[in-house]
């Protein structure tokens, strides 16, 4: 079974540009003679003229040995091509070609290990955003084979949490790339990880390993950075509140019926949208 964890990457529409948010559950603690924390998300960055140039984000689920090797392959391939890209963030096409090169190395490794009777046990997510605001997301299976997912379904999810409810919650809560600008995907992904951790003992709670890659319109460059500690605290509190709200809504359905509750919510949404329109007219 691949992945005692849950890693999620989602395409997030910000203004007219696409971004990628990648989050994971608690960092894994790997045992042995010298225990250590295994990273599940690796930001790949080069330094050029004392400035950071983001290349990609990689997420991994599965056995730490395989993930560490795959992370190193991704980092080596992407950094080795930085000169061809004039030390800039790769375009979507350039990134795709680099991902195919990574696929070749990982599939060769798979066949070599298989010939030795060793079973590969890992999955990857490879993601990037270019200077045109185009997001790319690819998944890599245990054979090293790559699948693009940025257009459909617009998100990637790896680890045991995918099977035990992660994908179901993503659909149930209404995620789609086209309407993602109307949602706080930080809260959504944290909520999914937290809820799945309640039913899957292999998935830890959300503790804030989260990276956002986007094109910054003001700075006119691609940026990549982790979630700030204060945002982590806020998200965890909001996740708790939303879990309580779902329970309340379920109880109200039993008390007054689904149709009555839906009518009340639709009326509230109508008043809210009218109020927002009025506020915009006043500020214009």
Residue 226 near residue 259 (C-beta atoms within 8 A): no
Going by pLDDT thresholds of 50, 70 and 90, the confidence category of residue 72 is very high
Angstrom CA distances, 81 to 43, 52, 264, stand at 16, 16, 56
Sequence-distant (≥ 6) Cβ neighbours of residue 75 within 8 angstroms = 42, 44, 58
Asked if pLDDT for residue 284 goes beyond 50, the answer is no
Nearest to 209 by CA among 183, 235, 247: 235
Average pLDDT over residues 61-72: 94
The reported pTM is 0.87
Residue 125 near residue 7 (C-beta atoms within 8 A): yes
Going by pLDDT thresholds of 50, 70 and 90, the confidence category of residue 33 is very low
pLDDT value of position 274: 67
pLDDT value of position 276: 60
- Rg from Cα positions in the chain: 21
Q: How many CB atoms are located within 10 Å of the residue 46 CB?
A: 18
């Amino acid at each position: 079974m691949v992945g005692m964890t849950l890693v999620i990457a989602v395409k997030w529409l910000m203004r007219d540009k696409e971004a990628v948010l990648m989050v994971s559950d608690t960092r894994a603690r790997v045992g042995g003679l010298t225990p250590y924390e295994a990273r599940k998300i690796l930001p790949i960055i080069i330094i050029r003229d004392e400035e950071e140039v983001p290349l990609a984000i990689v997420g991994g689920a599965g056995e730490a040995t395989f993930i560490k090797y795959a992370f190193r392959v991704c980092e080596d391939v992407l950094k080795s091509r930085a000169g061809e890209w004039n030390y800039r963030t790769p375009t979507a096409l350039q990134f795709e070609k680099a991902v195919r090169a990574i696929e070749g190395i990982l599939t060769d490794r798979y066949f070599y290990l298989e010939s030795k009777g060793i079973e590969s046990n890992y999955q990857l997510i490879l993601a990037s955003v270019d200077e045109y605001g185009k997001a790319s997301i690819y998944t890599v299976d245990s054979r090293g084979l790559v699948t693009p997912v940025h257009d459909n379904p617009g998100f990637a999810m790896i680890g045991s949490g995918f099977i035990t409810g992660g994908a179901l919650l993503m659909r149930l809560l209404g995620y789609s790339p086209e309407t993602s600008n109307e949602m706080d995907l930080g809260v959504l992904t944290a909520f999914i990880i937290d809820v799945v951790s309640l039913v899957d003992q292999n998935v830890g709670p959300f503790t804030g390993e989260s990276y956002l890659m986007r094109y910054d319109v003001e700075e006119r460059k691609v940026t990549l950075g982790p979630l700030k500690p204060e945002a982590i605290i806020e998200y965890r509190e909001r996740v708790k509140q939303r879990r309580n709200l779902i329970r309340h809504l379920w109880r109200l359905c039993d008390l007054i019926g689904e149709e009555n509750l839906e009518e009340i919510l639709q009326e509230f949404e109508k008043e809210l949208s009218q109020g927002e329109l009025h506020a915009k007219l006043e500020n214009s």
